[in-house]
Amino acid sequence: MTVSILFFVLAAAALTAALGMLLSRNPVTSALWLILNLFCVAGLYLTLNAEFIAVIQVLVYAGAIMVLFLFVIMLLNLASLPDLKRIEWKRIISFMLGMGLLAMLTFIIAHALDVMPDPLSLDLAAETGSASSLAKVLFTQYAMIFEVIGILLLAATIGAVVIAKRKPV
């Protein structure tokens, strides 16, 4: 019960933060709203027993990518950006209504075609969502794939250096 209350509280907070990011007129405030949104989504993953994704969400999105965003915002000359127009509520509401209708229609069509997957239960997610269960398959069954991904990332790094840094010889 507490979990589902927490879920809806976090969902509402995530929606508010997303709206705040869209509606805020200052880029830095927008970015801060986005961080709040990403944290709330991480919390949602926790309530769904997906611990690993929750941690990765915080580390990768709220950590690395947001720092990148803030750097870009700070490097930009904010004063030279064009002035933002006032928000047109009529268009926003009509857009939201339209999207809602589209979502419902898509759901009904998908339901009729029987392509909707059955939702996983929380217990099943608890078995597979933890970092240890992920690590277990990653380092046994998929160990070779894991190593090849290492080579892939190394190749990408070398490529970035070769293309960006190497002076023509």
Residues 6+ positions from 131 with CB-CB distance below 8 Å:
51, 52, 55
Tell the smallest beta-carbon distance from residue 45 to another protein (Å): 19
For another protein, the closer of residues 2 and 140 by Cβ is 140
In the complex with another protein, which residue's Cβ is closer, 3 or 155? 155
Q: Which residues contact 139 (CB under 8 A, 6 or more apart)?
A: 146
Which residues contact another protein by CB under 8 A?
A: 113-115, 117, 140-145, 147-149, 151-152, 154-156, 158-159, 161-163, 166, 168-169
State in angstroms the smallest separation of the CB of 64 from another protein.
20
Nearer to another protein, 83 or 114 (CB): 114
DSSP H/E element including 11: helix 2-23
User: What ranges in 24-142 are assigned the alpha helix state H?
Assistant: 27-47, 51-56, 66-75, 89-113, 122-128, 131-138
Q: Give the number of other CB atoms < 10 A from CB of residue 2.
A: 7
Quote the least distance from Cβ 106 to another protein, whole Å.
14
Q: Which is nearer to another protein, 107 or 142 (CB)?
A: 142
